[in-house]
Amino acid sequence: MSPESRRAFLKRLKYLWAPVILGSGTAYGYGSLVERHRIVVERHNLKLSLGPKAPRQIRAVALSDFHYDPLHEAEYVEECVRQTNALQPDVIFLTGDYITDYNDRMEELAELLGKLNAPGGVFACLGNHDYRDNANVVARALRKNNIDLLTNQHTRVHGRGGELIVAGLESVWGGLPNWSRAATGIKEDERAIVLMHEPDYATTVCRDPRASFQISGHTHGGQICLPGLGALRRPLWGKLYEAGFFDLRKMKLYVSRGLGTIHVHMRLFCPPEIACFDLMNRDRSV
């Protein structure tokens, strides 16, 4: 099915079948009570160019799209943290949307996320929703709990016999991303992992060969999907890349389905995920 035919079909389906699906008590009950909390750990072995000084191998775990309000499900976040720590990651990445609309309990969420444990540290970027109720409050809460928030900047993580470069960008929808600023100081033969909430911005980042791997969220993988067809709707700046891996020039992009929900608090054929990457560095042979 061509992209145009698929879009037309989904548009018709949205209006003809979506009310039936969402109105089904069985589907809604399963989607809201079971699948919404059925966390899947997606494990990936990935060979990347990480630069000659980066570790030969490193385990990174990525979490995205908590959307803590309005449900404030502390026990669910605690379970996400527990499962993440059980993977024994070297580094942990958070790719935005900690809140939906209000930051009044952001401190509570940040304290829960502060229990994430990785020897290399926990690194984060902001999502578009984090700007809705004063992004500075979100930023302060994360930093207060030892989460290194990267806003159009990069940092160097030492461990596992090397130096990993991690860059973080502001949201393209809520903030003002600046890859040139974030990449200042990264040498031509060095490579960076880029944390960027909206996946479609990868079309800009991939133009620079210093960007090796972009990790994003934002789409929720569609949140409510149909088998063989995917998401019923996709958000702005999340229309090109729905979920999973994509190759853009020499850069890889990964789009997480995320952990939370928005608008309708259910998931269908799109469970929440924790993404675990065992990264092998192509630039280190010994």
155-174, pLDDT tens digit by residue? 999 999 999 999 999 999 99
Please write the tens of the pLDDT for every residue from 27-46.
778 788 889 999 999 999 99
pLDDT score, position 2: 56
Number of Cβ within 10 Å of residue 15's Cβ equals 8
| pLDDT given at position 30 | 75
pLDDT at 229: 79
> What is the layout of strands, in order, in the sheet containing 91-94?
40-48, 273-281, 57-63, 91-94, 122-124, 147-149
Return the amino acid letter for 229: L
* 3-class DSSP assignment, residue 72: coil
Q: C-alpha angle 86/33/199, rounded to 5°?
A: 60
pTM of the predicted model, to two decimals? 0.91
CA 21/CA 282 separation, integer angstroms:
46
pLDDT value of position 16:
44
Which pair of structure tokens corresponds to residue 105? 């309990």
| Residue pLDDT tens, the chain, 286 long | 555 555 665 555 444 445 545 556 677 787 888 899 999 999 999 999 999 999 999 999 999 999 999 999 999 999 999 999 999 999 999 999 999 999 999 999 999 999 999 999 999 999 999 999 999 999 999 999 999 999 999 999 999 999 999 999 999 999 999 999 999 999 999 999 999 999 999 999 999 999 999 999 999 999 998 887 788 888 899 999 999 999 999 999 999 999 999 999 999 999 999 999 999 999 987 5
Give yes or no for a contact between 280 and 57, defined as CB atoms under 8 angstroms apart.
yes
**3-281: which CATH architecture?**
4-Layer Sandwich (3.60)
Largest CA distance in the chain: 58
What 3-state DSSP class applies to 67? coil
In the chain, domain spans: 3-281
Rg (CA), the chain: 18
